[in-house]
Structure 1
Amino acid sequence: MPQLIFHGVKSDDVKICSVALIEELAQVMETSTDNFLLEVINSVQIFNGKEESKPYPFVDVRWFERGQVVQDASASVITHHLNGVGYDPVDVIFTALRKNAYYENGTHFDT
């Protein structure tokens, strides 16, 4: 269920690193690779009244909390793979979801 939402990153670059990225994250998070959702947001970033020609790359990770050690390792994996396709620096932001507020087919995960 972890969702990785990429901003300021080209979809072709995510495709290049996606398989290895998900395999490594699945090990760190102790879940299967088919639980991940990758999304690339094509957005325009504005700074000082002008459109940025090279937007700042960051990844928003939405997940069920897995503790600081797993979070730190996950951020390191994501950063490593995006560095590998030319993005430096990279910000990673974690948003913890509550199981009782996440529904699939009308049923929440906290049952």
Structure 2
Amino acid sequence: MPHLLFRGVAADRLQAVTAPLAEELAAICECGTDNFTMACLHTTSVFGSQPGDPAFAFIEVGWFERGQAVRNRFAQAVTRYVGQLDIPEIEIVFHAYREDSYYINGEPVEE
């Protein structure tokens, strides 16, 4: 935790920035890099663009809320690293999980 889900970013290109991104995000969140998952979804735009139009990145972050200041730093770091891939627009949304609704192997997470 946190979980990052990337759309509009090619996995082979994203792979080049995930290690340093995880290091910076771990420092921001004060946790280990082993707490992060990052995955890419292949998407095909079927409305509002033409084939070959530059894509934009849409990144969903699922996590336990850490406050506005940490959220801002997290979003800035993700934007900086994904921006190195020459993607014209980067949008990020955060989904806050509730600790009492999060389970690992069928057991509730205890904080």
Q: 1:88 to 1:51 in 2, by over 3 A?
A: closer
* Equivalent residue number for residue 38 of structure 1: 38
How far apart in 2 are the matches of 1:4 and 1:88? 19
How far apart in 2 are the matches of 1:32 and 1:92? 22
Identity fraction in percent = 33
**C-alpha root-mean-square deviation of aligned residues, in Å?**
1.5
* Equivalent residue number for residue 72 of structure 1: 72
Post-superposition shift, 1:51?
5.7
Match status 1:28 vs 2:32: no
Count how many residue pairs are aligned between Structure 1 and Structure 2.
110
Match status 1:88 vs 2:88: yes
TM-score, structure 2 as length reference: 0.91
Once the two structures are superposed, residues 22-49 of structure 1 have per-residue CA deviations (whole angstroms, 9 ceiling, x without a partner) of 000000011100010001001112224x
Any idea what SS the aligned residue of 1:46 has?
coil
Q: What are structure 2's unaligned runs of at least 5 residues?
A: none
Q: What are structure 1's unaligned runs of at least 5 residues?
A: none
Shift >6 Å, 4+ stretches: none
Any idea what SS the aligned residue of 1:73 has?
helix
